[in-house]
Structure 1
Amino acid sequence: MASPSGPACLLLSGVALMMLTTACRSPEQRAESDEQAVIADVAAVCAARAAVEEAVAGVEGLTPESTVEDAETAGTKLDQAMASLRDANTELEKAEVKEFRDQVELFRQAVAEVRRQKDMTLADASVALQLEAASVLAARAQLDSVVICAEPEASEPAASANEDADDSAPDGASGDNGAAGENGDAGSSE
């Protein structure tokens, strides 16, 4: 069998290089990288929410004088915005899980380091482990958290419309705060 050449070889080389680079990064570097991914994914979720709000406004703007084409266009924009929101939520969930995994690895390393330092006092070991444990707990809380997007500083009517929508949401759920799922379930898989 002939070996790959041309674009296929470059693709394989690129994938191998990426895997090698990832494997060589320290847990601290992976944690930092994954934290940045979470930040970027939160921004993507917020942008997708804004697109959904804009699409919903298009649906709300339909009148008896609107054409079928207007309704189809509004529906298509809403479908596209919901797909973007679903994709952004999926990426955010993945990034949050990676960040949690990284923090767990850093905690394991701290435990191993404490175990190696036989002259360390229990008080010192406790302080060292509590700092790492706090990072694990914060990353775990982030998995359960709801993304809160900053409201753009716009006109008053838009703000009051959002408040009205929040007040009418069933079971105390707000239409503006569920990041991980379309129904506001921050990543639970029921």
Structure 2
Amino acid sequence: MNAANDRPQRHLRIVPTPSAPPESSSPTRRRLPRHQRQDLPEPANGSVVRFKKSGYGYVAIRRGDHWETSTADPLTDGFMHEVMSWPQMWAAGRYFELATDLQPIRWPPNKDKRLVEESVVCCTTDAEHWAAIAYQGAYTGFNERLWYSTLTSTAQKRLKLRSYGYWSEMMREAQNIHIVTAWDPLLPWPNATRRGWQN
């Protein structure tokens, strides 16, 4: 792994959060049914978002007309796929947030207290820009934390990496590793919240 992380990262575009419609003046607020949810403007190319589905956190990065997600197994993740359009992804997930700031990780990584469950890192491996989200589950400690990446099957074969793994496996040749330190909620319906996110 290249520990020289002083170069600025270029692949994540920091863009303004799409504006939300004005909140309803009604005192009773409830989440709109899925089929009534308003469309959300698609973030700019290169953007990174994270979202929830069935209680699990996902991260995705935009590549032109599609998004590459951290889905580990499309056969078990239901409506999630490793490559999706924005409408498909938006219909499948909840609590979308847009990455708005990056900072280099601290070395050694196991001493960086920001690398916790549901944190997101962005990096480069052999010119492949990708992101990964942390999952702790019932395990304890940095070395047992799993990282689910946005690498597609094609990229995994080329880089000889799996879609997920421990830090030592996933980041062994990664460069320019940055952690997302700020998120803006994407609020397409009046009563949307950040509910479910720990950090």
- TM-score, normalisation: structure 2: 0.20
- Which structure ranks higher in relative contact order (CA pairs < 8 Å, sequence separation ≥ 6)? 2
Higher strand share: 2
Higher helix share: 1
Rg larger in 1 or in 2? 1
